Amino acid sequence: MKIKITEKSVGGIRPQEKAKEYRDSDLKGFFVRMEPSGQGAYYYEHCFPNGARKKTKLGSIGMFKASDARAVAMKLKVELAAEARDHGITRFEKITLGEFLTRDYDNYVKNNVKMGLDFTNRIRKSFPEFLNLRLDQITPYQFDLWRSKFVHGRKPGTVNVVTAYLKAALNKAVEWKIIAINPIRDCKLLRIDKKPITRFLYPDELERLARALSERERELRVKRASGNQWRRVRKYELMDSLEVGFADHMAPMIFLSLNTGMRQGEVFNLRWGDVNFRENLVVVQGTHAKSSQTRQIPMADMTRKTLELWRKQSTPESEEGLVFPSPVTGKRFHDVKKAWSEVLTKAGITKFRWHDMRHHFASALAQKGVSLQVIKDLLGHSSIEMTLRYADLDRTTLAHAVSQLSIGHDFELPQETV
């Protein structure tokens, strides 16, 4: 009901069976709400350009004059309008998902999310048909249509991950008052198997992997020696010899992963300052951990020998230097897919991802009787539920520790550098 809100008109309002609002005929958003109890109050409701609404209680009738309430409402209107302009709030029809990602969200994830721009690029790659849609055009129905197509050939967990990315982006748009509600907030995630079959390496596969790495090292040395001979004849500058130490990063990376259960990204981000030879620990910094929690992993004998040898042949740098810098850029690796695929082919190992080395580490511990709580702490799981997948592999009651692992003894360790 609309009225001209004045002291006189407010004084004439009588309580009804239900709460009732009386909107001012002059100032949009300014109104009086009278409760059945007879208690009334002045309010101002601001409508943002994107449809979002913000309701503010100005004061109770009897404690606040109508003229004073109107003055406060007018001041609040100006302040909220300015806030909308400062935050770049515009109308639905002017903002597409693609525009929102580029204009607003890219900068946010670059400074606040570990994945950085990989986060928003994953959204772009997974939801190409949504990029040109206005935010108000993304509906639960359209999302379900997308998911029914996207799920083909993909695991439910993968679909859930990119769904979570999009939800996070839209939640941030709501927080920034760019949209009123997240259109897919009620869309549920797909059911996933919480205890899938764990892929780990059998003893014969471990032996084949070690032999494949040894053979790869020999091939790289032969290739480097042949290349240097060609250069020597032509009086070109020779490349570094590979006769001592590891031929490249792959073998030490793989042994570190198998003996620590570190994620690939954690291995790529590892710095020499995180390797504590005095305390025999590898430290995974929280800034690079999925759980954001720092954890310490004891070094097994093979891990220590591998890192000590790799340290001696690494380019002299500060203690903050990367343990595994790219030989091409000198910066962090982004992937080693090609070399990893070649190693697996040479070893005759199938259906084994890099991440499965983490599963192998945990499975080996469980099979040796190490408690799930210890495995949880070593892996950096945020909850024991994530570690329960290894429960069926605990076949003994002996409480062995990670120091019993020393994977890679079949590998022919190269000579130490002089």
Per-residue pLDDT band for 318 (boundaries 50, 70, 90) equals very low
Largest alpha-carbon pair distance within the chain? 107
- Region 353-373: what's the mean pLDDT? 91
Q: Which of 396, 273, 283 is nearest to 323 (CA)?
A: 273
Distance from C-alpha of 143 to C-alpha of 145, rounded to nearest angstrom: 5
Same domain, 54 and 97: no
Same domain, 37 and 146: no
Whether the per-residue pLDDT at 51 is higher than 70: the answer is: no
Whether the per-residue pLDDT at 84 is higher than 70: the answer is: no
- Backbone φ, ψ for residue 124 (5° rounding): -60, -45
- Region 384-405: what's the mean pLDDT? 60
Same domain, 309 and 391: yes
**Is 217 inside a domain boundary?**
yes
How many domains in the chain?
A: 3
Q: Which of 71, 86, 101 is the last residue of a domain?
A: 86
Q: Which of 175, 194, 217 is the last residue of a domain?
A: 175
What residues contact 19, with CB distance under 8 A and at least 6 apart? 33, 34, 35, 36
**Is 197 inside a domain boundary?**
no
Same domain, 74 and 105: no
Instruction: Give 322's strand partners.
Output: 271
**Is 122 inside a domain boundary?**
yes
Residues in the chain: 418
Distance from C-alpha of 280 to C-alpha of 222, rounded to nearest angstrom: 34
Q: Which of 35, 63, 86 is the last residue of a domain?
A: 86
Sort residue 415 into left (φ over 0), alpha (ψ -120 to 50) or beta.
beta
Instruction: Give 34's strand partners.
Output: 20, 40
In single-letter form, the type of residue at position 65 comes to: K
Distance from C-alpha of 147 to C-alpha of 316, rounded to nearest angstrom: 50
Q: Are 101 and 123 in contact (CB under 8 A)?
A: yes
**Is 66 inside a domain boundary?**
yes
**Is 418 inside a domain boundary?**
no
- Region 121-134: what's the mean pLDDT? 94
Distance from C-alpha of 53 to C-alpha of 182, rounded to nearest angstrom: 14
Task: Give the CATH number for residue 52.
Answer: 3.30.160.390
| Burial class, 371, CB count within 10 angstroms (exposed 0-12 / middle 13-18 / buried 19+) | middle
Distance from C-alpha of 314 to C-alpha of 235, rounded to nearest angstrom: 26
Sort residue 153 into left (φ over 0), alpha (ψ -120 to 50) or beta.
left
**Is 112 inside a domain boundary?**
yes
Same domain, 322 and 255: yes
Same domain, 80 and 106: no
Three-state secondary-structure class, residue 397: coil
pLDDT of 349 = 96
Same domain, 255 and 121: no
Same domain, 79 and 56: yes
Provide the pairing of β-strand 275-276 with 2-3.
unpaired
**Is 216 inside a domain boundary?**
yes
- Region 285-304: what's the mean pLDDT? 90
Q: Are 109 and 119 in contact (CB under 8 A)?
A: yes
Higher pLDDT, 244 or 281: 281
User: For the stretch 106-123, what's the b/e string if a residue is b when 16 or more beta carbons lie within 10 angstroms of its beta carbon?
Assistant: beebeeeeeeeeebbeeb
pLDDT of 407 = 64
Same domain, 265 and 135: no
Per-residue pLDDT band for 391 (boundaries 50, 70, 90) equals low
Q: Which of 315, 332, 358, 327 is nearest to 269 (CA)?
A: 332
**Is 180 inside a domain boundary?**
no
Q: What residues make up the domain containing 154?
A: 92-175
Same domain, 253 and 376: yes
Same domain, 138 and 24: no
Same domain, 115 and 233: no
Distance from C-alpha of 12 to C-alpha of 156, rounded to nearest angstrom: 62
In single-letter form, the type of residue at position 66 comes to: A
Provide the pairing of β-strand 20-24 with 2-3.
parallel
Q: What are 128-162's pLDDT values in tens digits?
A: 999 999 887 888 999 999 999 999 989 898 999 99
Mean of all residue pLDDT scores within the chain: 87
Q: According to DSSP H, which parts of 234-300 are helical? A: 250-260, 264-269
Q: Are 33 and 55 in contact (CB under 8 A)?
A: no
